[in-house]
Chain A
Amino acid sequence: TQLLEQSPQFLSIQEGENLTVYCNSSSVFSSLQWYRQEPGEGPVLLVTVVTGGEVKKLKRLTFQFGDARKDSSLHITAAQPGDTGLYLCAGADLWSAGNMLTFGGGTRLMVKP
């Protein structure tokens, strides 16, 4: 069973601060995704990274896939209250049937105005 460890589990910051969330594994993934989930809703895909070393930007969010495709990070610049939510990383392995994903435990972010 592949495991994805996310850190930190909880993060409470002031508006305008920067933060980084980490997603680590001892296993190699063919791709890694980041989802954001708001209370009472299902996760929504933010980004998929596929190539080792790949960096993708989504406005103030920067996603990076590790060179060895075992880890990833999400960096938020100048966080806003609207960024509050649960951030989940999920990995797909080369041999998974049905596109199934392995999820990390999540990072719960609260941005205070």
Chain B
Amino acid sequence: NAGVTQTPKFQVLKTGQSMTLQCAQDMNHEYMSWYRQDPGMGLRLIHYSVGAGITDQGEVPNGYNVSRSTTEDFPLRLLSAAPSQTSVYFCASSYAGSNEQYFGPGTRLTVT
């Protein structure tokens, strides 16, 4: 199993550009989520999904959209990138009955 995979590994955007961060898992996990990690602030939840077709907002959802058309994939879209969105983004998945999160390797995004 590949676990949780994320692409790209690194990305540089100009302010106002849009892009999609990809996330896929092959563990048949029901739950998937996106976090951003900034220095000294741990991980903060952006959006999460409890199953295909179901998504909800986390702590810091503004400026991001998600969709969950399949169990395996959970892309994160930045509609109009801003410098405040410079961060490291992690996708995670888990079984419905467990708090144990499996994290991807992260995407380091810089917005200039």
Contact = CB atoms under 8 A, between A and B. Distances in A.
B25 interface: no
A104 B37 CA distance: 11
A89 B53 CA distance: 30
A99 B33 CA distance: 10
Interface in A26-80: 31, 33, 40-45, 48
B106 A40 contact: yes
- Which size class do B's interface residues fall under? 20 to 34
A31 B97 CA distance: 13
A101 interface: yes
B54 to A, nearest CB: 9
Contacts of B4: 42
Interface residues of A, number: 25
Interface in B22-49: 31, 33, 35, 40-45, 48-49
B42 A42 contact: no
B81 interface: no
Which of the listed residues A31, A42, A92, A103 has the most CB atoms from chain B within 10 Å of its own CB? A42
A39 to B, nearest CB: 10
Contacts of A4: 42
B42 A105 contact: yes
A11 interface: no
B8 to A, nearest CB: 14
B56 to A, nearest CB: 7
B102 to A, nearest CB: 8
Given A33-B100, A48-B100, A98 B50 contact: yes
B105 A40 contact: yes
B42 A104 contact: yes
A9 interface: yes
A97 B56 contact: yes
B106 A41 contact: yes
11 contacts: A6-B42, A33-B99, A42-B105, A45-B102, A48-B99, A97-B50, A98-B33, A98-B50, A101-B101, A103-B35, A105-B41
